[in-house]
């Protein structure tokens, strides 16, 4: 692995579903001699793309798990992570962006900025990752890269500047004009592997000069040399433009835009040139950790091989040789036999086999130096753990993980399946922080939770295929929540007298709604409740949050304030105050007008214009609120908010209503109170379930 970090790039490829992420990665690997044959995502021979190594990915033609690979281009080491576009697998994008230095944001030249492009952009902002944009599919009917650049500016707020203009569009798309060199580039050979430089076509000279002037004007904001050259009318060198655009990109104040067609093998090589020219190296990025020995103060991490090692485990995979842990090394380096410490558990471990990944294939290496991404075998850890060498006790900030919004019961059909299902669930929950599982105490059913129907569907399918677990699934269930709508007081005394010491504890205060999940405020003065019993009070209240008294759903959004109480020198104990807190919670909750909340999803439908009316009708039938609708050429985009409970089976209904021409994306938005009629329906179903269980 390269130790000259100036020549290392850690990049991701992110976009909306079906924008061509995996297709582009496949071309990149072909042009950098990592593979010798291009496979398509939905290959006729059933092979699928190299980066979609999972059987399910090849069948469905989608990316489910992010795949890592690396390649070399003009002496540069490029580590690439191809991420899923489907919102159900958004954690894969989160954890990839957490460890990457730069991103290629792919946009479709026909559809432009779509709903998932907005989500990816928000994730990039969260981790402050610089990006360059690639407007793909310029060969498609209705392609308009300049419309996409306008959307980048207006919808995403990017300072987007074109670095190229296309030579022809749709079926006449032949190549691109580079606005830095002012040369035309064509792509010849069976797979467009020969990049041929020619003079620019006459009819494009005027447009190229105009767009170049705008590009130089925007870039000059980041370079005094370039500004001086413009003002003094001196010749502008290519290096001046490269330096200015790179500076603006790394500061996340400029987004250079490139264009082409990955599927038709057009303009992928110039994009690779742009990756090494404009995206940052590990040395350009400031990374921080917190020092656990110094009151969690932040410390900068330096990509230096001689410093103590600091690495972040960002993804786990259970392969045929045991658990594979993907790592990004931020400082120092990991060599075979090194002693590492997991700062979360305090456990020490020896580094065994070190791997450099190439999708599902792997190459053994002797070390993973700072600034690189690699993998290690045989390490027991969780996603987001930090590993350090001797002399430091640092922890890296973990990634943003969303709560699951949908659940499903799974039941093994025989004993063997039960053992295999248990193994599968154990592995999946370790690998994916948004996939959770538990056993329902009342029904003894195993419940799995995730981000959407497709998410759970994929895991159930993997249980059957990879673990031979025959399982039966129940109806999908929505993750309802309970909360209160007004303030209420409590003054509860827990008293129990048996032989010997009894139990006594009195708690008084009030409960009120809040935006947080749970807050506990202690306003006890004068030792009315001794300090050692306060944590027991808090624990008692917290225990009640797991299952609400109204309808047995988890409770959220409650602030408890205790301001009075009483204790007994002999009879009071931690157990007594925990019980008193439970009683106080039930007393106040009943008076605080509890309601049920349901998850609301942001649903974006893209449909041909003639089906716009019927799509809006489908949203209205599902208690949805249409937030906006716009026509973009022959397509309409409808944005809406719809309760998750109404979205089951929506894809089938949408397909049949639009002759299979519409598609939709759905992601979690927020929780909202359910209408009275729906609350009554939920209560009725709960009652039926209870009777069913009693039988």
For residue 372, the model assigns a pLDDT of 87
User: Which tokens in the block code for residue 253?
Assistant: 């104040």
CA dihedral 301→304→307→309, nearest 10 degrees, is: 70
What single DSSP character describes residue 132?
Answer: E
For residue 580, the model assigns a pLDDT of 92
What is the rounded distance in angstroms from the CA atom of residue 245 to the CA atom of residue 239? 10
Burial of 128 (0-12, 13-18, 19+ CB in 10 A): exposed
Residue burial 6-40, b: 16+ Cβ < 10 Å; e: rest: ebbbbbbbbbbbbbbbbbbbbbbbbbbebbeebbe
Within 10 angstroms of residue 205's Cβ, the number of other Cβ atoms is 13
For residue 257, the model assigns a pLDDT of 93
What single DSSP character describes residue 112?
Answer: B
CA atoms within a 13 Å half-sphere pointing along the CA-CB vector of 148: 30
Q: What are phi and psi of 533, to 5 degrees?
A: -95, -10
Write the pLDDT tens digit of every residue in 632-651: 777 788 999 999 888 887 87
Asked if residues 139 and 97 have their Cβ atoms less than 8 Å apart, the reply is no
Name the β-bridge partners of 15.
106
For residue 113, the model assigns a pLDDT of 82
Residues of the chain below pLDDT 50: 42-54
Within 10 angstroms of residue 418's Cβ, the number of other Cβ atoms is 15
Write the pLDDT tens digit of every residue in 396-424: 876 667 777 778 888 888 888 889 899 88
For residue 2, the model assigns a pLDDT of 58
Contact partners, residue 382, CB within 8 Å, separation at least 6: 313, 316, 344, 430
Asked if residues 511 and 558 have their Cβ atoms less than 8 Å apart, the reply is yes
Name the β-bridge partners of 316.
325
What is the rounded distance in angstroms from the CA atom of residue 441 to the CA atom of residue 46? 44
For residue 256, the model assigns a pLDDT of 93
Name the β-bridge partners of 525.
none
For residue 45, the model assigns a pLDDT of 40
What single DSSP character describes residue 380?
Answer: -
Asked if residues 295 and 171 have their Cβ atoms less than 8 Å apart, the reply is no
What is the rounded distance in angstroms from the CA atom of residue 92 to the CA atom of residue 82? 10
What is the rounded distance in angstroms from the CA atom of residue 12 to the CA atom of residue 492? 56
Closest listed residue to residue 333, CA positions, set 367, 298, 288, 289: 367
What is the rounded distance in angstroms from the CA atom of residue 278 to the CA atom of residue 242? 7
Q: What are phi and psi of 393, to 5 degrees?
A: -130, 70
**Could you give the 3-state DSSP secondary structure of residue 222?**
helix
What is the rounded distance in angstroms from the CA atom of residue 172 to the CA atom of residue 190? 17
Q: In order of start, what are the domains of the chain with their CATH numbers?
A: 5-201+249-284 (3.40.50.300), 287-396 (2.40.30.10), 406-477 (3.30.70.870), 486-592 (3.30.230.10), 599-677 (3.30.70.240)
- Helix ranges restricted to H, 450-573: 453-467, 534-544
Name the β-bridge partners of 131.
103
DSSP 563-578: EEEE--TTT--HHHHH
Asked if residues 353 and 293 have their Cβ atoms less than 8 Å apart, the reply is no
Within 10 angstroms of residue 141's Cβ, the number of other Cβ atoms is 11
Q: What are phi and psi of 482, to 5 degrees?
A: -110, 150
List strand residue ranges (DSSP E) for 332-402, in order.
333-335, 339-342, 348-350, 354-358, 361-365, 367-369, 373-377, 386-388, 394-395
For residue 679, the model assigns a pLDDT of 85
For residue 262, the model assigns a pLDDT of 86
What is the rounded distance in angstroms from the CA atom of residue 664 to the CA atom of residue 606? 6
Asked if residues 545 and 557 have their Cβ atoms less than 8 Å apart, the reply is no
Closest listed residue to residue 57, CA positions, set 94, 19, 86: 86
* Rounded (5°) CA angle 59-62-68: 110
């Amino acid at each position: 692995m390269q130790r000259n970090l100036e020549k290392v790039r850690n990049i991701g490829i992110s976009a909306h579903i079906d924008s061509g992420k995996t297709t582009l990665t496949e071309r990149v690997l072909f042009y950098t001699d990592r593979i010798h044959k291009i496979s398509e995502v939905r290959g006729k021979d059933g092979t699928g793309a190299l980066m979609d190594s999972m059987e399910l990915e090849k069948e469905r033609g989608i990316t489910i798990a992010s795949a890592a690979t690396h390649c070399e281009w003009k002496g540069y080491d490029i580590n690439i992570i191809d991420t899923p576009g489907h919102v159900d697998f958004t954690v894969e994008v989160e954890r990839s962006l957490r460890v990457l230095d730069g991103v290629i944001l792919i946009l479709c030249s026909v559809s432009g900025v779509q709903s998932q492009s907005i989500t990816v952009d928000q994730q990039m902002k969260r981790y402050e990752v610089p990006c360059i944009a690639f407007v793909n599919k310029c060969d498609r009917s209705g392609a308009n890269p300049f419309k996409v650049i306008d959307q980048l500016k207006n919808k995403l707020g990017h300072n987007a500047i074109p670095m190229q203009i296309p030579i022809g569009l749709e079926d006449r798309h032949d190549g691109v004009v580079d606005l830095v060199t002012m040369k035309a580039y064509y792509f010849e050979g069976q797979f467009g592997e020969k990049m041929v430089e020619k003079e620019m076509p006459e009819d494009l000279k005027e447009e190229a000069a105009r767009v170049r002037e705008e590009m130089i004007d925007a870039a000059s904001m980041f370079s005094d040399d370039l500004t001086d050259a413009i003002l003094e009318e001196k010749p502008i060198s290519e290096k001046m433009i490269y330096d200015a655009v790179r500076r603006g990109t790394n500061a996340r104040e400029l987004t250079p835009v490139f264009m082409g067609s990955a599927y038709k093998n057009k303009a992928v090589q110039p994009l690779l040139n742009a990756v090494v020219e404009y995206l940052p190296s590990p040395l350009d990025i400031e990374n921080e950790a917190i020092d656990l020995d110094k009151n969690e103060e932040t410390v900068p991490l330096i990509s230096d091989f001689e410093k103590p090692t600091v690495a972040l485990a960002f993804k786990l995979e259970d392969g045929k040789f045991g658990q594979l842990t993907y790592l990004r090394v931020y400082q120092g380096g990991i060599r075979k036999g090194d002693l590492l410490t997991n700062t979360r558990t305090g456990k020490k471990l020896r580094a065994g086999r070190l791997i450099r990944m190439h999708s599902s294939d792997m190459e053994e290496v002797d070390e993973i130096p700072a600034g690189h991404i690699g993998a290690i075998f045989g390490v027991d850890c969780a996603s987001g753990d930090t590993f350090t060498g001797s002399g430091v006790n640092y922890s890296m900030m973990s990634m943003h993980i969303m709560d699951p919004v949908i659940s499903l019961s799974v039941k093994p059909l025989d004993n063997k399946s039960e053992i295999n299902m248990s193994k599968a669930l154990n592995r999946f929950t370790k690998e994916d922080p948004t996939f959770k599982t538990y056993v329902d105490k009342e029904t003894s059913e195993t419940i799995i939770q995730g981000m959407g129907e497709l998410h759970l569907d994929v895991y159930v399918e993997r249980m059957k295929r990879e673990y031979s677990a025959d399982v039966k699934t129940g109806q999908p269930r929505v993750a309802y929540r309970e909360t209160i709508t007004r303030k209420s007081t409590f003054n509860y005394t827990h008293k129990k007298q048996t032989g010997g010491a009894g139990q006594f504890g009195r708690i008084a205060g009030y409960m009120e709604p809040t935006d947080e999940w749970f807050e506990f405020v202690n306003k006890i003065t004068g030792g009315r409740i001794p300090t050692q019993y306060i944590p027991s009070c808090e624990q008692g209240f917290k225990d009640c949050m797991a299952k609400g008294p109204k309808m047995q759903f988890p409770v959220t959004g409650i602030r408890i304030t205790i301001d009075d109480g009483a204790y007994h020198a002999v009879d009071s104990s931690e157990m007594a105050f925990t019980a008193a807190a439970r009683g106080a919670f039930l007393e106040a909750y009943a008076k605080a007008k509890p309601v049920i909340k349901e998850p609301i999803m942001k649903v974006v439908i893209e449909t041909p214009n003639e089906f716009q009316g019927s799509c809006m009708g489908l949203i209205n039938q599902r208690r949805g609120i249409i937030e906006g609708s716009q026509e973009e050429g022959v397509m309409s985009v409808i944005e809406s908010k719809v309760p998750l409970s109404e979205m089951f089976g929506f894809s089938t209904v949408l397909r049949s209503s639009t002759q299979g021409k519409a598609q939709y994306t759905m992601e979690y938005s927020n929780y909202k109170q359910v209408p009275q009629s729906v609350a009554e329906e939920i209560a009725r179903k709960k009652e039926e379930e209870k009777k069913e269980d009693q039988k």
